[in-house]
Structure 1
């Protein structure tokens, strides 16, 4: 009897194990089907692309690659239009100028929004970069007056003061060391510009070892999470951000600047003093923005909302203007060091301008095509933002390609800028690509360092003014050249970076003698 009972128990256990394995297999199969259910989206439409894997799609390992080169390799392999998956979410990658024009300009109303990240923070949601739909239109319209030519001209005096302080640092470095880490120095400069122009602040120890202001800003753009699988979570599972905790992505540094702006605005509310910085101008512009209610114009936002919107745009101004501009200036000095004949040509043209205007200033830059050519060519070779995205909000068809609502359209800017169909000898640094005649022959939708169309970078003109003043001030006084640590080509940090991070940007520096 004991033997029979043991046999029955064994049969029950065996049946239970078999049943459990069957259920586990079925669950695994259904989960696999669910996770891969969209993976035929592009193949059914005859669109090529890399093969995705469950959960990650095509993002597996993206946190350990060189993103600019990775994107160029994909376009070289799959062409100007192909499919890519952020987890199970389809993204159409394009470097075709006709589709870029349609998405970013012609049919912009079908692609108004950027990728939707489900942050609960009101400050993040109200940033003009992440706001959506009508709210984006209202915020964009309300802050545009803060970036008029007149406002930028007034800020140019402050920018020049910051550039003069940077020149003093450069002179000290040229005398004592003879070489400099361009990114470190330009980061301190751009933070100084933003502190003065945006917040009316002067920070004495910027760039020094005990400078927490800079340390927190740098941590935002190059956090350790960018080099781990956690970096892709907002792209694969955007709705998990609130569950996992926004602090994983909105770092301590981010919170530091939000608190800084909150305190600054409270202090100003209690004071009658007027400032001519971005916070003041934006507050006035946003406060004056109205809506129609029963035939009457009334304020669009209440006091609390206005404060949130001002803080959001001010933090964005700091974040967007700090690292991208510092990176661009670093790339300019690096390429000029490697191309002395172009550096000499630029110096000669600056010197002739100085003969007329006596110093670097806003008026000097108004009609100065060669400095524009140099900056544009650097932005072509090293765009600071490696990918530009828009979300489709209505089914559309371009060139026989059906783009469904919810699909992300991605333009990999490095691949676009290095396409030999657009730029012959793309690896060559050649500012003459940007002469008036050469520009007229080129499709304008092949150059996107600041985005494109109605949702391009709202602070673009401010950034260009800042770059020009710093560049002309430095080239007027200093010569840059390669040293042993200078790489042959610019190297960028590996990882899932939203802004490219130059590494080993060491160049030689010496003060110019009278030439």
Structure 2
């Protein structure tokens, strides 16, 4: 009995110390306002329990508190969120704020130490090695694969003309095929077989990650092990890693044989291959390191791009004047050419502006954050060790200081002379600074390929009674689909 009392006293003492430490922590963050109705210790978590809650609430907190405010999501997650472009520049360029926030840990079992989730020291090494894989001459070689998959997408959509369709499932299967072919040199034919084990496993792992974000129990690594999702994740990750490992082993053997028989090197010092995996093999990374980077490209390169393409098509359906202007540009550049070339895609300036304006309104990565490992000051305001600093991209892109009539879809905002008037950190769909998206040029090229093909082949019409319900599901999506209607162009 005596031991029980001692244990009880120790537990009570630890709880009281934790409460005291939290009070001190919050006191040190007093420079930043918090939203109305913020609960002690729980903060704002009860208002943000589903994927459709977080964005409208963050916009509400921004209105109540100003550009920079405290966001408390339970007893362990406290953020300084901001839509201030100057503050964002400080966050994204500070060498003290290089580590990604705790949320990225939910991806680690699948992505390991790939560029998205890697600690700063590993990230710096891999980033330097991998950057040549996204050289424009490498991207130029991928256009054939982009075009062929976009043509399959057109074929699939041709079966659904003059009907209301949720465009997102069609696009996401196309981008999955593209990223598999360009990253690993293999096709899983997702567009032809959307119930294949690989496609289903990819959907499952993304769903499991989303479940962890919105569950206080699953956010805890200890408690997560007692949930069904934990065991589901182990099974799904084991399968996905087995697939990737097998492909790496096969390609390593092919790479070795080809290197012995075909030593030709092009003028940027890279053997004439198209695949991201082949390039990683040249860099001397281990199998696990290569697997992590390939899986990271898979994750970052298909769902985000699918979101961007789908929302762009939705915006075009509701802005026919923009769509007509875009069609005229595409028709004038391509003429009678069947497949666009890399250089023709670069000529499509209005298409680039359309995509950027869509990324402004519907950024696939609508927020991201960094962990604070030592006290940091910005404008004499303390951000204490243990906090997180978050960039609310969706809100930043709607700041009227940078964008007049911010809710309107106006691609002309991204004419060069207009862009030069704004802070470079007022538009960050691919992040910015040191840990910006390494694949942003590939993403833009993928978007151009799909949108160009669709606009060239179809008129995109609105479905006014089915407006998207914006949802944060690891990336920005619509919980009720993204509906459009297609009409075949004559």
CA distance in 1, matches of 2:106, 2:387: 20
Is residue 90 from structure 1 mapped to residue 78 from structure 2 by the alignment? yes
Give the match for residue 505 of structure 1: 482
- Residue in structure 2 matched with residue 444 of structure 1 by the alignment: 424
| Residue 39 of structure 2 is aligned to residue 59 of structure 1 | no
Summarize deviations over 1:69-95 as a string: whole Å, max 9, x none. Answer: 222111111111112234234321121
1:231-262 Cα distance to aligned partner (Å, 9 max, x none): 6743xx46766787983684644443222101
1:386 deviation in Å?
1.9
Within the alignment, does 1:214 sit opposite 2:194 as a pair? no
Q: CA deviation digits over 1:86-128, x for unaligned, max 9? A: 42343211211111111212x2x11111114657967634111
Matches within 5 A, 1:447-466: 447-466=427-446
Structure whose alpha-carbon radius of gyration is higher? 1
Shift of 1:173: 2.0
> How much does 1:224 deviate?
8.7
The answer as to 2:100 corresponding to 1:102 is no
Give the whole-Å Cα distance in 2 for the aligned partners of 1:30 and 1:203. 53
Which shows bigger deviation, 155-164 or 27-36?
Answer: 27-36
Does 2:309 align with 1:329?
yes
Report the counterpart of residue 427 of structure 1 in structure 2. 407
Distance apart, 1:133 and its partner CA: 2.5
CA offset at residue 219 of structure 1? 2.5
Checking the alignment, whether the CA contact within 8 Å between 1:186 and 1:329 is kept in structure 2 is yes
Corresponding residue to 1:112 among 98, 107, 115: 98
CA–CA separation in structure 2 for the residues paired with 1:467 and 1:129: 21
Show structure 2 runs of 5+ residues with no match: 259-272
CA distance in 1, matches of 2:85, 2:217: 28
Q: Determine if the alignment matches structure 1 residue 37 to structure 2 residue 21.
A: yes
Contact 1:38 1:88 in 2 (8 A): no
CA shift for structure 1 position 140: 1.1
Q: 2:261 — aligned with what?
A: none
Task: Say if 1:228 and 1:278 are closer, same or farther in 2 by CA, change over 3 A.
Answer: closer
3-state SS of the aligned residue for 1:93? strand
Would you say the 8 A contact 1:156–1:361 is kept in 2?
Answer: yes
Q: C-alpha distance in 2, partners of 1:178/1:244? A: 41
RMSD: 3.1
Q: Any conservation in 1 of the 2:371–2:388 contact (CA below 8 Å)?
A: yes
Can you list the C-alpha shifts for 1:3-29, whole angstroms capped at 9, x where unaligned?
Answer: xxxxxxxxxxxxx9xx99xx9899669
Provide the secondary structure at the position in 2 that maps to 1:366: helix
State the distance in 1 between where 2:355 and 2:138 align: 22
1:151 positional shift: 0.8
Give the TM-score normalised by structure 1: 0.82
Question: Does the C-alpha gap of structure 1 residues 136 and 483 become closer, same or farther in structure 2, counting only changes over 3 Å?
Answer: closer
- SS of aligned partner of 1:450: coil
Instruction: Report the alpha carbon displacement of residue 360 of structure 1 after superposing the two structures with TM.
Output: 1.7
2:121 is the alignment partner of 1:134:
yes
Q: Deviations over 1:456-503 (max 9, x none)?
A: 11111111110011111111111110236532xx3224xx63212223
CA distance in 2, matches of 1:171, 1:84: 46
Query: What SS does structure 1 have at the residue aligned with 2:476?
Result: coil
Q: Which whole-Å CA distance do the structure 2 matches of 1:427 and 1:261 have between them?
A: 42
Give SS of 1:509's match: strand
Out of 155, 161, 175, the residue aligned to residue 148 of structure 2 is: 161
Q: How far apart are the structure 2 equivalents of 1:145 and 1:154?
A: 14
Partner of 1:292: none
Partner of 2:266: none
Q: Structure 1, residues 355-382: CA drift from partner, whole Å, max 9, x if none?
A: 2866422110223221111011111111
The aligned residue for residue 168 of structure 2 is: 183
Change (3 A) 1:238 1:389: farther
